[in-house]
Amino acid sequence: SKRALYGTGGLNAVKAEARAAKMTRGSVAAVLVPGKPDSAGAQFFIFVVDQPALDNKYTAFGRLSDGLEVVQKISETPVDAAGLATERVEIRHVTIRDTPPPMPEPFSTQSPQDLASYRAVLDTSAGPITVELFPDKAPGH
């Protein structure tokens, strides 16, 4: 059946690369055919939990920066006795994005009135210290 082929294609296209990487929660790594180090391709793992037994065995090429809750949900998809998902999960679209533009300096887009509502709390081993801010008195600080 077509369902039996899901997740079986796209391999044997990429040679192995340096693999000195820990396979921790959020790591993204290329799938390999067992026993064939030069068999990576279009398939990949996204690790929901740390997998120390897989450290340094796969090429890690990325790390999740958002969406771990979606990966967790996918990992909970029901499977049948053969371990195949009973509900199909598809990647519908992929967008490759540039590195996001730099963020503005903290608080640089807020008015002095907005900034006056902030409090800085310094949590010390001796107890907390709260500082009320006066942006109108020291606008450059």
pLDDT over 90, % of the chain? 16
Report how far apart the first and last C-alpha atoms of the chain are (Å, whole number).
66
Average pLDDT over residues 116-140: 70
Q: What is the pLDDT of residue 138?
A: 61
Residue 140 has pLDDT above 60, yes or no: no
92's CB contacts (< 8 A; 6+ apart) are: none
Higher-confidence residue of 130 and 110: namely: 110
Q: Would you state the pLDDT for residue 110?
A: 81
DSSP E strand boundaries for 1-141: 27-30, 44-46, 60-63, 119-124, 127-132
Question: Which of the listed CATH numbers 2.40.100.10, 3.40.50.1820, 3.30.930.10, 3.40.50.40 matches domain 2-75?
Answer: 2.40.100.10
Distance CA 22, CA 26 (A): 11
Q: Which of 5-9, 31-35, 45-49, 97-101 has the lowest mean pLDDT?
A: 5-9
Do 29 and 59 touch, CB atoms closer than 8 A? Answer: yes
Q: What is the mean pLDDT of residues 46-60?
A: 89
Question: Whole-prediction pTM value?
Answer: 0.60
pLDDT 10s digits, 59-103: 888 888 888 889 999 999 999 998 888 888 888 887 777 777 788
What does the pLDDT average to over 14-31? 81
Please say if the pLDDT value at position 127 is more than 60: yes
Q: List every span in the chain annotated with CATH 2.40.100.10.
A: 2-75
